[in-house]
Amino acid sequence: MKGPALPPPRCPTVSALLADVAKTPYGLIFADSAERETVVPWAEVYRRARRAAAGLARLGVREGDRVALLLPTSPAFMDGFFGALLAGAVPVPLYPPVRLGRLEEYHRATARMLQVTGASAVLTDSKVRLLLGPSVEKARPRCGCLTVDELMRSEDMHEVSVRPDALGFIQFSSGSTVDPKPVALTHHALMTQVTALDHAMPVPEGTPRVGVSWLPLYHDMGLIGSVLSTMYFPGSMVLLPPEAFLARPALWLRALSRHRAYISPAPNFAYGLCLKRVKDAEMEGVDLSKWHHALNGAEPVSADTLRRFAERFERWGFSARAMRPVYGLSEASLAVTFPPEGRGPRVLHVDPSTLAREGRVEPGARGLVSVGSPVAGFEVEIRERDGGALPDGRVGRVFARGPSLMSGYFEDVAATARTLTADGWLDTGDLGFVLDGELYLTGRAKDVVIIRGANHAPQAFEDPLGAVDGVRTGCAVALGFTPEGSEDEALLILAERAGTEPSAAVEEQIRAAVVAATGVRPHTVRMLEPGTLPRTSSGKLRRAESLRRFLAGELSAPKRMGTVGMMVEMAKSALAMVRAEQDP
């Protein structure tokens, strides 16, 4: 299925877009947890970026160099990001450390991301820099690690023009993982993506051109979906630090009301967090009636969350028709499909067991939410294992093609070849089906666990289990699943036992090891008999198949080999030995 034709982008590059939006009266509004706001007009963002670009050039950063950014949501982030772009370099936004979080894993992941992108400089603030010693020491960026303040000391301005096919930035396909992949996006890809977003989300008439986002800026939905798209519309964007939202979710809704904002994206869990933690008293005087595009993406969308959110916040003017469950992934820059505006969510009830066993859609009890049809310039196809296209209502792998796909994983030809086909299709690794021109997602073939909108490689959760004695070495899998009665994806650990320690005690140790290493708490830990987890012929664990069997209730211990079976095996083995000895 195909989306509408893509109008040509208004500007060829993100750098040109910044110069263009600098002529408008709009800008960025940084709000803090006390609801104080600092306005930085786009003209000022542009001026500061040219100063930062001069600083980077002085430092020795050359065109095409990667510049890593480890900065919180702040004007300094914009200086670093746009400064790198205007210097002709490629910004690489990475996640800054979490307060009170564990640092060892952080350093390991950060050092690796600096290394795989070959960052020539690291930009940060004075507080984070104190901590970066170990990461920077390992990666040794050529131009060093410095704060944005140091970069901005001179009044010089600098700006180079870049080609549309030059890299615009590199984003990582997963947040805090053992093996995150660097997704390389050209200026052209980014510009076509924001053009498609503009096409899918027109500004309603008589509404102030302003949006709100608390999403982290190292996340595709935060940077492309909130900041770059706002530059294109053009308009203003209110940015809240993610931790301020997590600590007090009402800040998000209050900011939407204060600015009469029409657009704001968030992962499903954020809507759930509002249901749980926003108090009526905090909503006094709040008006959500201008919120026209309530985007819900970056993790599986729950029909229940959508319904309950609309019911609860209707009192404050929120309309269920504003809810737009969307689908995208960092390899596509961001959006792949969008539902029509103003319709509200479409929920299809299917039979979960026919879906799991036969990959077929039959009416039933499980509510699946449509994520819509391809955005402008995109097409989507459902394919079976051998690559053939599947008809409507049949579950298969979701493939997508469009102008904003990544050019590849940065300097990783092999990984790119596994993901992008020669004729330009992206294997999303997601499973789903198409019905009546809309896409429904049913699961994932790729090994990714999505917790609160962040993608994690399963290894991040499996590696710490090596230190738990009661677990057979290398015989555990980490999976994402949506527990019965829950609305968000949660972490499932399936582990084969070793030794005789009681399961409950080992499960506790597993929980402790995982949360200490990753900050994520497993929802369910299941101890299994040795040999229960399915493996490939070469002995590798099959995660997706493990999950399928767990959900279908088919995880069972291998049959114990009886005496007769043992004798047969021994005889076979003896025969093989004799043959081997006879061969010259």
Interface contacts to another protein, rule CB under 8 A: 33-34, 96-103, 127-128, 130-131, 243-244, 246-248, 276-277, 452, 512, 515-516, 518-521
What CA–CA distance (Å, rounded) separates 21 from 27? 9
CB of 141 to another protein, least distance (A): 20
Least separation in angstroms between residue 243's CB and another protein is 5
- State in angstroms the smallest separation of the CB of 279 from another protein: 9
Among residues 276 and 560, whose Cβ is nearest to another protein?
276
Shorter beta-carbon distance to another protein: residue 373 or 482: 482
As a whole number of angstroms, the distance between CA 123 and CA 476 comes to 38
Distance (Å, rounded) from C-alpha 540 to C-alpha 451? Answer: 24
Nearer to another protein, 244 or 253 (CB): 244
CB of 451 vs another protein, minimal distance in Å: 9
User: Which C-beta is closer to another protein: that of 133 or that of 565?
Assistant: 133
Judged by beta carbon, residue 128 or residue 390, the one nearer another protein is 128
Q: Indicate the residue among 46 and 461 with the shorter CB distance to another protein.
A: 461
Closest CB 462 distance from another protein, rounded Å: 17
Query: Cα Rg for the chain, rounded, in angstroms?
Result: 25
Which residues have CB under 8 Å from 538's CB, separation 6+? none
For the bound state, the minimum distance from the C-beta of residue 517 to another protein, rounded and expressed in Å, comes to 10
Residue 383: count of CB within 10 angstroms of its CB: 15
- CA angle, 343 as apex, 339 and 346 as ends, to 5°? 65
Q: What token pair was written down for 319? A: 């309309």
Given the complex with another protein, which of 245 and 378 has the nearer CB atom?
A: 245
Task: For the CB of residue 229, give the shortest distance to another protein in the complex, in Å.
Answer: 27
Q: What is the DSSP string of 15-45?
A: HHHHHHHTTSS-EEEEE-TT--EEEEEHHHH
CB of 138 to another protein, least distance (A): 18
Question: Cα–Cα distance between 500 and 295 in angstroms, integer?
Answer: 49
**Closest CB 470 distance from another protein, rounded Å:** 17
State the burial class of residue 74 (Cβ atoms within 10 Å of its Cβ: 0-12, 13-18, 19+). middle
- Cβ neighbours, 10 Å, residue 261: 25
DSSP state letter for 3: -
Cα–Cα distance between 492 and 490 in angstroms, integer? 7
Q: Give the separation between CA 464 and CA 510, rounded to whole angstroms.
A: 8
Q: Is 118 strand, coil or helix?
A: coil
CA distance readout (Å), 306 to 60, 236, 280, 346, 550: 50, 27, 19, 10, 27
In this complex, which beta carbon is closest to another protein, that of residue 107 or of residue 401? 107
Please tell me the number of Cα atoms within 13 Å of 559 on its side-chain side: 5
Closer of 248 and 383 to another protein (Cβ):
248
